């Protein structure tokens, strides 16, 4: 039997530990892709089933309702046929909203969801108005009381529609929530409103036969119209809010903010978190407050950690994040007193040019401008001759400070550091290192 050395086993264990995070990431990515594919397939399947069912229910209701003189069933049939258009528009909006960003649409196509929902809502309102008009026409005609065969046929069709539409509502809602699609969810509620309409129609049909009151059927039709129109107005309102970039659910935004704050700790404050719906997900604006002296690269890392924490918390809450914009503010920033001087690069060039005018300055090693509350500060490192005494270097630094403050009036303070000319210092003073160093504030 082949024996494996302990060192080999240790190396294998180490390699496995190193591979585990990457493997977990790959598994998560593969799982996300698989979930997206399954969601898309479920939406496609239920959308096709819903369209076929609406065609069948609509034609049956219109035919039986017209033959039996039932305005409630006719109105319900018109509602079902309107669902055919609604189902097609809903799926079209779902597919269009998931198209990747392109040059003309760099922020993606998420608004197609809201547009599709708006069309769905408008179709419902129009269907409700048409059903109400038909009910009024039938009521003024004063139809005769239904016969038993007519009542049985109309009630049977209505009962079948109730069962079918309730099943479609549950299946479509489940697919829409898995696919995070407002348009598909709106279509699911459309199916539920159709079930309610069928219940009203069934009540009117049975009531007309049992009580012998002809106007109960048109009254039920008017009730159907009211339910359909109300559902359409609700869907339109939500769609308009999304098109106008209305804020995402404030309670859920606060939960996301708490999660980011907990991840970053007390050193970095979440000043503001805003979010709005964008198709299947949300777009978030995250403003963090970081220490004023933090380097740009360190502040960028803080922003990355904040964005990752936001995405993770949103994913755990079942919310997809399409994009996160992170803005970093220094912790001592005062909005009302912020001074918009020249750009830092422009000021640094002017400070460097001013320093190089001094006859004893051989070069500028480094220059940086920073903003401290309402003050603009500069730090410049100048290179002086290696033979210069400490007293002379201190005098040069003081003269440079005064010259720079006169030549660059936007600055409030200047820190001048003086260094030896390293090229000559290395040849004539090998054991000295960088030599003398002085500064003047």
**What would the mean pLDDT of 288-292 be, rounded to a whole number?**
86
Q: Residue 145 — very low, low, confident or very high, per pLDDT cuts 50/70/90? A: low
Whether the per-residue pLDDT at 273 is higher than 90: the answer is: yes
In this prediction, residues 121-127 reach a mean pLDDT of 81
Per-residue confidence (pLDDT) for residue 39, from 0 to 100: 67
pLDDT band at residue 345 using 50, 70 and 90 as cut-offs: confident
pLDDT (average), residues 26-36: 43
- Report the candidate in 6, 11, 226, 238 with the shortest Cα–Cα distance to residue 132: 226
Q: Looking at residue 177, what is its pLDDT?
A: 80
Asked whether the beta carbons of 260 and 128 are under 8 A apart, the reply is: no
Angle (CA) 192-125-185 rounded to 5° is: 40
Beta strands at 320-330 and 281-290: parallel, antiparallel or unpaired: parallel
Q: Which of 196-210, 312-326, 400-414 has the lowest mean pLDDT?
A: 196-210
Task: Read off the pLDDT of residues 221-260 as tens digits, 9 standing for 90 and up.
Answer: 787 778 778 878 888 888 888 788 778 888 889 999 999 9
405 pLDDT band (50/70/90 cuts)? Answer: very high
Q: Could you tell me which residues come within 8 angstroms of residue 378 by beta carbon, excluding any fewer than 6 positions away?
A: 347, 348, 351, 367, 368, 369, 370, 404, 408, 411, 413, 414, 415
In CATH terms, the fold of domain 344-440 is: Alpha-Beta Plaits (3.30.70)
pLDDT, position 101: 77
**Confidence (pLDDT) at 7:** 44
Q: Decide whether 13-243 matches 344-440 in CATH topology.
A: no
The confidence score (pLDDT) of residue 121 equals 83
For residue 334, pLDDT over 70 is answered with no
- pLDDT tens-digit series, residues 54-103: 889 888 988 888 888 777 788 778 777 877 877 787 778 777 777 777 88
Domain edges within the chain = 13-243, 250-333, 344-440
Closest CA to 227 of 324, 307, 127: 127
> At the topology level of CATH, where does 250-333 sit?
Alpha-Beta Plaits (3.30.70)
| CA 260 to chain CA mean position, Å | 16
C-beta of residue 98 within 8 angstroms of C-beta of residue 111: no
So what CATH class is 13-243? mainly alpha
């Amino acid at each position: 039997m082949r024996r494996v050395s302990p060192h080999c086993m240790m190396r294998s264990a180490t390699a496995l530990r190193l591979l585990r995070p990457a493997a977990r990431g790959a598994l998560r990515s593969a799982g996300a892709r698989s979930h997206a594919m399954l969601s898309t397939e479920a939406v496609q399947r239920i959308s096709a089933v819903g369209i076929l069912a609406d065609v069948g229910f609509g034609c049956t209701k219109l035919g039986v309702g017209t033959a039996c003189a039932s305005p409630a069933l006719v109105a319900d049939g018109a509602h079902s046929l309107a669902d055919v258009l609604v189902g097609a528009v809903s799926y079209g909006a779902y597919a269009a909203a998931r198209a990747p960003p392109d040059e003309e649409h760099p922020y993606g196509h998420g608004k197609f969801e809201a547009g599709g929902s708006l069309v769905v809502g408008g179709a419902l309102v129009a269907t409700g108005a048409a059903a109400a008009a038909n009910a009024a026409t039938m009521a003024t005609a004063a139809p005769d009381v239904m016969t038993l065969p007519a009542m049985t046929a109309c009630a049977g069709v209505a009962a079948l529609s109730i069962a079918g539409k309730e099943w479609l509502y549950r299946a479509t809602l489940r697919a829409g929530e898995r696919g995070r699609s407002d348009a598909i969810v709106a279509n699911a509620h459309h199916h539920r409103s159709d079930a309610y309409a069928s219940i009203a129609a069934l009540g009117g049909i049975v009531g007309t036969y049992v009580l012998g009151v002809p106007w109960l059927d048109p009254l039920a039709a008017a009730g159907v119209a009211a339910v359909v129109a109300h559902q359409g107005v609700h869907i339109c309102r939500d769609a308009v809010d999304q098109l106008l970039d209305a804020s995402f659910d404030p309670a859920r935004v606060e939960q996301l903010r708490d999660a980011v704050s907990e991840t970053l700790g007390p050193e970095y404050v979440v000043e503001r978190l805003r979010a709005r719906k964008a198709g299947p997900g949300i777009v978030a604006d995250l403003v963090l407050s970081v220490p004023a002296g933090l380097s740009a690269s360190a502040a960028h890392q803080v922003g990355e950690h904040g964005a990752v924490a936001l995405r993770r918390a949103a994913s755990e809450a079942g919310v997809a994040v399409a994009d996160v914009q992170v803005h970093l503010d220094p912790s001592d920033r005062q909005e009302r007193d912020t001074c918009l001087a020249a750009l830092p690069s422009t000021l640094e060039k002017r400070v460097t040019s001013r320093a190089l005018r001094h006859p004893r300055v051989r070069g500028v090693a480094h220059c940086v401008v920073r903003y401290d509350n309402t003050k603009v500060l500069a730090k410049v490192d100048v290179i002086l001759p290696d033979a210069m005494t400490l007293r002379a270097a201190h005098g040069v630094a003081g003269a440079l400070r005064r010259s720079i403050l006169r030549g660059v009036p936007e600055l409030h303070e200047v820190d001048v550091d003086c260094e030896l000319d390293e090229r000559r210092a290395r040849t004539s003073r090998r054991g000295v290192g960088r030599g003398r160093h002085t500064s003047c504030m």
